[in-house]
Amino acid sequence: MNKEKIAYDEYFQQVNKILGSTGLLLAAGSPDKPTNAMAIGWGSLGIVWGRPMWVVLVRLSRFTYQLIEEAGNFTVNVPGTDLDKAVAYCGSHSGKNEDKLAKLELAVVAGGEVSSGVIEACPINYECQVVGKSDIVPEMLAEAVKSEYYGQGDYHRVYFGQILTAYADKKAAAGL
């Protein structure tokens, strides 16, 4: 893919549509650990602390949680519909047990600014540095949210990832 730099919000509507349907791919890896990806259906692309930011929610049980803790960064990768099955796979299997991206034959390219790799086949990629994190406080949640999403415990850690750079294959992104 031929990618060029984009403004963080250039594909805002398209990205939110995919986030709320099939999901995006959140990836993390360090120099010692290969990049792993999981599906995310929740997140927020916007401005926090005067910085362009991806805010993502990762349950502590995820392998990706361990990787983000180690790496201190992550990438958000926006898939086209050709990757629907791959996203579903990354959202239902853990990198604790296998190298999902290798199995799916999805090439990982080194991030320019972060240790986490980007998924080449995704038309849009964001490289994010963790500049803040916060755990969900059960007592602060509305009962309806708590019972619907946290019946088993397994709360999310909320990561604030400053977008250091974002790029897209504009031809492919036009079809999103």
Ligand X SMILES: Cc1cc2nc3c(=O)[nH]c(=O)nc-3n(C[C@H](O)[C@H](O)[C@H](O)COP(=O)(O)O)c2cc1C
Which residues of the shown chain bind ligand X in the complex (CB under 6 A)? 23, 36, 38-42, 57-59, 62-64, 91-96
Point out the residue whose Cβ comes nearest to ligand X: 91
Nearer Cβ to ligand X, position 33 or 59? 59
Residue 41 — φ and ψ, nearest 5°? -115, -5
User: Least distance (Å) from ligand X to the CB of residue 89?
Assistant: 9
Measured from the CB atom, the residue of 93 and 170 that comes closer to ligand X is 93
State in angstroms the smallest separation of the CB of 50 from ligand X. Answer: 25
Nearer to ligand X, 41 or 80 (CB): 41
Return d(Cα 112, Cα 101) in angstroms, integer: 19
Q: How far is the CB of 148 from ligand X (least distance, A)?
A: 14
In the complex with ligand X, the residue whose CB is nearer, 92 or 147, is 92
